[in-house]
Chain A
Amino acid sequence: MTLSRRETLTIGLGAFAATFVLPKFAFAATEDAIAEFTGGAATGQGDLTLTAPEIAENGNTVPIEIDAPGAEAVLILAAGNPNPDVATFHFGPLAGSHVASTRIRLAGTQDVVAVAKMSDGSFVEARQEVKVTIGGCGG
């Protein structure tokens, strides 16, 4: 029987995905993707809210939402996925609200990263760790 990494999450009591060590290339790829988006500019804290569960109920489909009033574009990355790129949302000048939500697949416990390009040209970053776990002992 061949199991994908995701399928192992539903097997037995355990899952390999929960503690696997993030490969170095994933971190590097995340940093590269941020640098490409910002053109190398530093990111700060600001008006960007990233909403994600602390612990994923299902690593295959993790709901996330960004809310970034004043942003022209928001880059979403899954820092621990083999390919961290998730999406870039663009908001035009007529956008009623600068909110977007989607569902993403996470290969294991990792940071989800959002970087917003604000209309003044600055960049704002938010990140949250999302745990992909076995569970089974909540009592």
Chain B
Amino acid sequence: MIARRHFLQAGLAASALVGASGFGQWARLAAQQSLTQEDLIGGPGSGTVSLVHITDIHAQTQPIYFREPEINLGVGAVNGKPPHITGDAFRSAFGIEAGSARDYALTHDDFVSLAKAYGRMGGLDRIATVVKAIKGDRPEALVLDGGDTWQGSLPALRTQGADMVRLFNALGTDAMTAHWEFTLGSERVRDIVEGELDPAFLGANIFDAEWDEPAFEPMQMFERGGHQIAVIGQAFPYMPIANPGWMFPELSFGIRQERMAEVVQSARDQGAAAVVLLSHNGFDVDRKLAADIPGIDVILTGHTHDAIPEPVMVGKTALIASGSHGKFVSRVDLDLDGSGVKGIEHRLIPIFSDVIAPDPEMAALVEETRAPFAEEMSEVLGETSSLLYRRGNFNGTWDDLICNALISEREADIALSPGFRWGASLIPGQQITREDVFNVTAMSYPEAYRTEMTGEFLHTVMEDVADNLFNPDPYYQQGGDMVRVGGLGYRIDISKPQGARISEMTLLRTGAPIDPATSYVVAGWASVNEGTEGPPIWEVVESHIRRLGTVSLEPNDSVDVVTG
């Protein structure tokens, strides 16, 4: 069966969202009054060993809004399975009441009204409170960071990650793995790892490109509660493809399943009572890895930014998905004896910033790292009357704004913006500060290029990116969302093979079909190629916002999605 639908997700006003849902959630908002820090963190845990998992914080030290995806399609065997469910399907899968705190934290519906009621989420000072509370109950809890920590904000960009390194050291992080960290350049990463970094920097799949030898430690053994706990790191497998390989030319990545099987075996041989994989593979890749490699007790997943309130079991392996942007902290309690893991309990702790008290020490440290940039970050560029968000398989309103900026500031026919999954949301009525713009653009290859591409070439690009998202074999996916387009409409059938998914490409300005042989002026940013020229994207976006004054986006119905 082919279900065909248009989706309208851009620029929905708050009133429209309330009116459309029919949840009548306002009556239930009284429930917020009963949210307490103690309830969110929970009482003493079970078992003997605890893990604390934070991942994909993208340098967001401050409480933020982050709207979860409305469209998060799975293909092949994972169609309709978490995390590829949203809205109603998500709520019914996990018994979540519409309009509840968990609904706000985990789904997209009624986001604006619920955001106003429940407030921002995250904040590293609140996270520190949660970590300290868990350590109060279980002093030896292992704090594990899944990576994408040193990138995503203005201070992290300016300090080349030094602020986040300092903050995550202070959090008591025991081990981490990486993805965007390497976009600071491999030299910078090595300097940090050898000089500034407290946690073990682990990546079983990071190899020397020339000699094909391991380049970083694959694993760290921790003794906790009389047991050996092996923590294996797995960095983002497609670093040199999805990000600029020239920034870390001497390194090679990949999934390297055989290598992972060897490291798991070696952990067992060394007497590990529990094997924990701290992964930046992305959820679907980890699900396949868990099925193919026996012997991993827990995979702390990352990269794809999914927040799932319960472990997903694959055989005996528990997959934990702890969200992104500091919205959640996972606590995993392992019940261990000499024979291994007997039981696992998981809490996905939502960091409601108005409920969980800031930890004063961390708050002061965060403030210190932000102080040099505070004035620059707080400058107001304009305001928005539309919800601005990014996450979702196709367009998000932040990307619509960025694409509009590229088209108007760079005088282009068509704009391309990468399908990144990071970037905080803004709700209607908020001012847009420079910090907000950096929260969706801050990275080390920001040049806004302007070039010509033929219609045929554009089609090839879009087919290629679509296959990175919708290839039925997760090992061939890279974990980003679809490239965002401005000035261009198209139809996508995700069930088709590469080369046949994208059709009906239309130049929106004229309504004419894209001609394969005609050249179009295309503006974009975040090219992975060395030597890309252009102003940094945040300057382009800032200039556009200043000219608009108030950002108001029309609904974007330019992508016609066909699901199989």
Residue B528, interface by CB 8 Å:
yes
Q: Report A28-69 residues with CB < 8 Å from chain B CB.
A: 51, 53-55, 57-58, 63
List the B residue with the shortest CB-CB distance to A130.
B476
Q: A19-B498, A137-B419, A139-B420 are in contact. Are A12 and B529 (CB under 8 A)?
A: yes
Residue B170, interface by CB 8 Å:
no
| Number of residues on chain B facing chain A (CB within 8 A) | 50
Interface of B is mostly: loop
Q: A57-B253, A136-B418, A138-B241 are in contact. Are A131 and B212 (CB under 8 A)?
A: no
Q: Complex Cα distance A129/B497, Å? A: 14
Q: Mark B143-182, 1 if CB is under 8 A from A, else 0.
A: 0000000000000000000000000000000000001000
Residue A96, interface by CB 8 Å:
no
Q: A135-B478, A137-B418 are in contact. Are A57 and B242 (CB under 8 A)?
A: no
List the A residue with the shortest CB-CB distance to B207.
A63
Q: Report A100-139 residues with CB < 8 Å from chain B CB.
A: 101, 109, 129, 131, 133-139
Enumerate chain B residues within 8 angstroms of A58, measured Cβ to Cβ: 240, 245
List the A residue with the shortest CB-CB distance to B56.
A139
Q: A57-B245, A133-B241 are in contact. Are A138 and B529 (CB under 8 A)?
A: no
Assess the B479–A134 pair: CB atoms within 8 A: no
| Number of residues on chain A facing chain B (CB within 8 A) | 28
Interface centre among A21, A51, A54, A131 (most CB of B within 10 A): A54
Enumerate chain B residues within 8 angstroms of A137, measured Cβ to Cβ: 242, 418-420, 465, 468, 478, 480-483
Q: Report A1-46 residues with CB < 8 Å from chain B CB.
A: 10-16, 18-19, 21
Extra 20 A-B pairs, beta carbons < 8 Å, given A12-B451, A18-B460, A19-B499: A10-B529, A12-B527, A13-B453, A14-B453, A19-B463, A55-B241, A57-B245, A58-B245, A131-B476, A133-B468, A135-B241, A135-B242, A136-B241, A137-B465, A137-B478, A137-B482, A138-B236, A138-B238, A139-B421, A139-B481
What are 9 inter-chain pairs, A to B, with CB distance below 8 A? A12-B529, A57-B252, A131-B471, A133-B468, A136-B528, A137-B480, A138-B479, A139-B420, A139-B480
B residues lining the A interface (CB < 8 Å): 179, 209, 212, 236, 238-243, 245, 252-255, 258, 416, 418-422, 451, 453, 457-458, 460-461, 463-465, 467-468, 471, 473, 475-476, 478-483, 498-499, 524, 526-529
